[in-house]
Every structure is written in C-alpha cells, then in structure tokens.
C-alpha cells in the first residue's frame, strides 16, 4: 500500500493539457489551478484563449452513466434549474478521454460554496425548496423519455450487525498490521472499538424493512455545499451530476441535511427543520417518510466504513478528517436519535 498525496491526485501532464486543448477546441491554456473543494474527482479552473472553464477528471463513475447524466443537463436548464451545460468535443462527446484519463469541461460558473451552517435561515428554507423543484424537474425529464422510467418500488438493503462487525474487525486488523502506526491509526483503532460497542448496544434500533416508505424518483445524489454555488443571495449553480439516480426523495432530503447541517460533531436542528419545511412547501412528504429515511441514514452511517476503505485499502488519505468528523456526529446522533428524527419529521 502506498499513500496517495494531494500532488498525486492533482497532477496533470503537459501532454494531457495539450490533448484537452485539441479535444475541446480551447485554443490554448493561459493558466490553471487546482480546486480543492472536490472530494472524489479532481477539478481545475482553466483560463484559456476562448474563456474560463471548470475541468473535471472523472475517477469514480462509469463513463456510459456519466454521458447519460450529462445529456440531461440542457433539459434541466430548460426547466429552470441552474446547471452548467457541458462543453462537447469536436465529435460531440461530453467526455474527452486523454492520456488514459477521462475529463469533462464546463463553462466557469461564478459563485461561492457556502456550508449549510453559514446560510441564514431564510436561505436554508429556500435551499429545501430548490431541492424539491429539482426533483420535480428530473421527473419531467424522465417523463419526456430522456431518463429511464422509475421502477415501481425500490429496495434498500439493511446491513446486518454481524456484517458491520466483520468490517470493523477487518479494519482493526489493518491498523494492527501497521507496526509503526501513526496518529490516524491510533484514532481509527479507538473509533473502531467504540463503533463495535455502539453496534452491540443499538443494533435493535436498525430499520426492520428493506423497502423504504414514501415517494421516489430521479435524484441528484450528492446535493451538498461542495456542489452548490451561491451568488447575490441566490443559488447560482448545481454541480457534479455523477450520482444521478433513482432514490426515495426523503433519502436525498435527509442526506443533504446531514452533510449541510451536521458539522463539528452536532446537528444544527433548527436548520434541519427549516430545510425540511422548505422542501415540503413544494413536495409534501409525510412525516413518516422523513423519519424512516433518517433512521435508515443513521444505520447506514453506523455500519459503513468507506473512509477507512480509502485509507487502508487504497492508500488514499484524502478522507481521514471526514472520518473523524463523521464519527463524532454519529455518536452525538445516536444519543439523540429520537430528537433528530423529530426534527426531520417536522415535529421537533
């Protein structure tokens, strides 16, 4: 296993830049700099002789799925959703494959990323309404035939406690195998011990059905502050459409609220309630739908170790700090499970 550094992930060769100039007809690149906000993919701002662009190296999504997703963005724009339209290559492809890597390019969108806790309450409510309108627009695009039909009812596997313990044991073994160890190894070892204790104490609270309740349809999949730009108090752009997929609407509402308002080891429950109320002003989800989605996300966080998989299986340390933050939130959340679910259900 080798450690992945930021320099490894953000390097782009001169040869690849030349290939992108040709593929997208950019004329020439005057300057570029890495955009640190992204997590999975790697992004740059390119200043070229024909304008300024956002360049993304695609790293974790099948290209056929990404091509499908990018193809619907013009239709979403026509529905009033603020989305950047991808630049296509000379052959009309939204993806350029250069030097063994895949890239997509967008006109530069002006705005700033704002964490959920930095949004004033009226803007938090407006963000919830934006998400609901996005879901409606995706439904309209699907109805037009530009996306596959939505299945009648989906399933969401509920990880068994025994499986989660096996994952924890495997990562503990990886920690112990590093004889020298480092500060993160020490943190991970303690976190894994505490997670096993939580699983033993709280596994009876896991969701009992594999079928989520409430309406479902096409959703963004990662509607959170790193993928949202604000300008002049308004939502200016919704970015990163890699994870477009069919999900329960309440699932995306709850996940968005967790990423937006679950920071520094606690939920900002006032903002959670305002966000959910904004969403329900457009799409009237039932309280039971939201409570079910909140419980499912809690259990998913309880049984998931994806940041440790990146660290110990892939040698990628990019998500170490996120693991530490999410672990703190999980414990706070677990101690206040009913309070959090009431906030999501609109009865806090």
- Residue 30 and residue 140 in one domain: no
Instruction: Please state the domain count of the chain.
Output: 2
Q: What is the CATH number of the domain that holds 52?
A: 3.30.200.20
- Residue 294 and residue 314 in one domain: yes
> pTM above the 0.75 mark?
yes
Q: What is the CATH number of the domain that holds 297?
A: 3.90.1200
pLDDT at position 4 is 43
pLDDT at position 217 is 96
Q: Which residues, including other chains, have CB under 8 Å from residue 36's CB and lie 6 or more apart?
A: none
Angle at 98 between CA 96 and CA 102, to 5 degrees: 55
- Residue 139 and residue 239 in one domain: yes
pLDDT at position 15 is 78
The answer to whether residue 191 is domain-embedded is no
Angle at 233 between CA 231 and CA 236, to 5 degrees: 40
C-alpha span between 139 and 169 (Å, rounded): 42
pLDDT at position 9 is 56
Instruction: Please name the residue ranges forming H helices in 58-182.
Output: 63-71, 73-78, 121-143, 161-177
- Residue 123 and residue 76 in one domain: no
Domain that holds residue 330: 116-156+205-345
The answer to whether residue 59 is domain-embedded is yes
pLDDT at position 17 is 86
- Specify whether the CB–CB gap between 220 and 238 falls below 8 A: yes
pLDDT at position 35 is 80
pLDDT at position 38 is 60
The answer to whether residue 66 is domain-embedded is yes
pLDDT at position 7 is 44
- Residue 283 and residue 217 in one domain: yes
- Residue 239 and residue 99 in one domain: no
- Residue 92 and residue 124 in one domain: no
- Residue 91 and residue 129 in one domain: no
Low-confidence spans in the chain with pLDDT less than 70: 1-10, 37-40, 347-348
């Amino acid at each position: 296993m080798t450690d992945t550094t930021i320099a490894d992930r953000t390097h782009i060769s001169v040869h690849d830049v030349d290939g992108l100039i040709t593929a997208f007809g950019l004329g020439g690149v005057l300057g570029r700099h890495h955009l640190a906000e992204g997590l999975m993919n790697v992004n740059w701002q390119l200043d070229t002789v024909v304008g300024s662009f956002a360049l993304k190296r695609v790293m974790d999504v099948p290209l056929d799925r990404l091509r499908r997703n990018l193809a619907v963005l013009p239709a979403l724009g026509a529905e009033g959703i603020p989305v950047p339209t991808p630049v296509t290559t000379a052959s009309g492809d939204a993806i350029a494959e250069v030097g063994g890597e895949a890239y997509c390019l967008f006109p530069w969108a002006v705005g700033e990323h704002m964490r959920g806790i930095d949004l004033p309450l009226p803007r938090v409510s407006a963000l919830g309404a934006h998400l609901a309108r996005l879901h409606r627009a995706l439904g309209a695009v699907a109805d037009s035939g530009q996306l596959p039909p939505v299945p009648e009812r989906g399933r969401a596997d509920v990880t068994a406690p025994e499986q989660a313990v096996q994952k924890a044991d495997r990562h503990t073994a990886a920690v112990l195998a590093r004889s020298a160890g480092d500060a993160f190894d020490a943190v991970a070892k303690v976190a894994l011990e505490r997670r096993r204790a939580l699983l033993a104490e709280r596994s009876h609270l896991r969701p009992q059905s594999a079928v989520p309740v409430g309406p479902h349809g096409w959703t963004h999949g990662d509607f959170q502050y790193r993928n949202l730009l604000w300008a002049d108090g308004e939502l200016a752009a919704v970015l990163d459409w890699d994870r477009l997929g069919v999900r329960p609407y309440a699932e995306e509402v709850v996940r968005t609220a967790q990423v937006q308002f679950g920071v520094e080891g606690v939920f900002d429950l006032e903002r959670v309630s305002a966000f959910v109320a904004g969403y329900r002003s457009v799409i009237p989800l039932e309280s039971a739908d939201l409570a079910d989605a909140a419980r499912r996300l809690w259990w998913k966080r309880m049984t998931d170790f994806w940041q440790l998989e990146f660290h110990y299986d892939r040698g990628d340390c990019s998500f170490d700090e996120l693991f530490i933050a999410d672990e703190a939130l999980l414990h706070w959340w677990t101690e206040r499970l009913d309070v959090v679910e009431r906030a999501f259900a609109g009865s806090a």
